[in-house]
Structure 1
Amino acid sequence: MSADKGFEQIISWKKARTLNKEIYRLTKGLEFSKDFALRDQIRRASISISSNIAEGYGRKTDKEFIYFLNIAQASCYEVKSQLYLAFDIAYITKMEFEKVFLNCDEISKTVYGLIKHLTKKSDN
C-alpha cells in the first residue's frame, strides 16, 4: 500500500472511526454503562477494527496488511454479535441496532473488497 496517502484515506478505516464514535455513544446509556463486561468488550472489538486497519497499513507487505484486515473483519463480526445481545436485553433500540449493524456490514464489505484487491495485486 502506498505510504503517501496514509491509512486515514482508507474508506474502511473512516467507517470504523464512525462506528467507534457510535459504539461509545450507545454504551454511555444508563443500563449499558453499568454492564462493564459487555460495554468494555464491544468497545474493544470496535476499536480493534480501526486499529487493525491502521496497523496493517503500516506493515511492510500486502500479505501482512491482509492479515490485519482479516483481524479487523473478524472484530466487525464480534461487534455484530454483541449488538444482538445488547438489543436482546434492551440496552439499545431496534433503530439503534439496525443503524450500527448496517455500519458494520458496510465496513465488512469494504474490508473484504480491500482484501480482494490486495490479494489480486499480490498474485500478479
Structure 2
Amino acid sequence: MATIRRFEDLTCWQTARAVAQDVYRISKAGEMARDFGLVNQIRRAAGSVMDNIAEGFDRGSRGEFVQFLGFAKGSAGEVKSQLYRAFDQNYLDSATFEALCEKVDNNSRLIKGMLTYLSSSAIKGERYQSLQEPEPLYNTNA
C-alpha cells in the first residue's frame, strides 16, 4: 500500500472532488439554476464531503480523521438526497440522476473503506509520531 502524505492523495477525496465538480456543473443550467435554495444546499453538501475528508486528515490524529470521515459520509448521503429532490422536480434526466447517484454511492463506499481501514490500523496519526516507537534502522536478528 502506498504511503499517503497529503489529503489530495486519498482516492475518497479525489472522488468527492469529482462529485462536487459535477454538482456545480449541473446546478448552473436549466431550471435548477433558478432554484437558489436547492442549488446552495447541494453545492454546500458536495463541498462538505471533500472539505471534511481534508480537515480530518490534516488534523493529524486517527480519532479525528475517523470523526471527520463520518461527517463526510453523512454529507454524501445529503448530496444523494438532494439529487432525488432535483430529479423529482425534473431538473435532472434519468441518465444524469443515475450516473451522479452511482458516483455518490461509490464515494460513500470509498469513505467507508477508509473508515474500516482506520478502525483496524495501529497508526495513531502524525500528531503522535514522537510517541510511537521508531522503526529499527537495521535488523538485529541477522
TM-score of the aligned structures, taking structure 2 as reference length: 0.82
Sequence identity (%): 39
1:111 corresponds to which residue?
111
- Render the CA deviation track for 1:7-54: whole Å, top value 9, x for unaligned: 011000000110011000100112011000000000000000000000
Q: Assess if the C-alpha contact under 8 Å between 1:66 and 1:118 holds in 2.
A: yes
- Render the CA deviation track for 1:69-122: whole Å, top value 9, x for unaligned: 000000000000000010011001111101110000010000000001111114
Runs (4+) of structure 1 moved beyond 3 Å? Answer: none
2:86 corresponds to which residue?
86
2:139 corresponds to which residue?
none
Secondary structure of 2:90's counterpart equals coil
Q: CA RMSD for the aligned pairs?
A: 1.9
Structure 1, unaligned stretches of length 5 or more?
none
* In structure 2, distance between residues paired with 1:46 and 1:122: 31
2:40 corresponds to which residue?
40
Task: Determine which structure has greater relative contact order: mean sequence separation of CA pairs < 8 Å that are 6+ residues apart, divided by chain length.
Answer: 1
1:75 corresponds to which residue?
75
* In structure 1, distance between residues paired with 2:115 and 2:74: 13
* In structure 2, distance between residues paired with 1:8 and 1:100: 21
Alignment coverage as a number of residue pairs: 123
Structure 2, unaligned stretches of length 5 or more?
125-142
Greater share of helix residues, 1 or 2?
Answer: 1
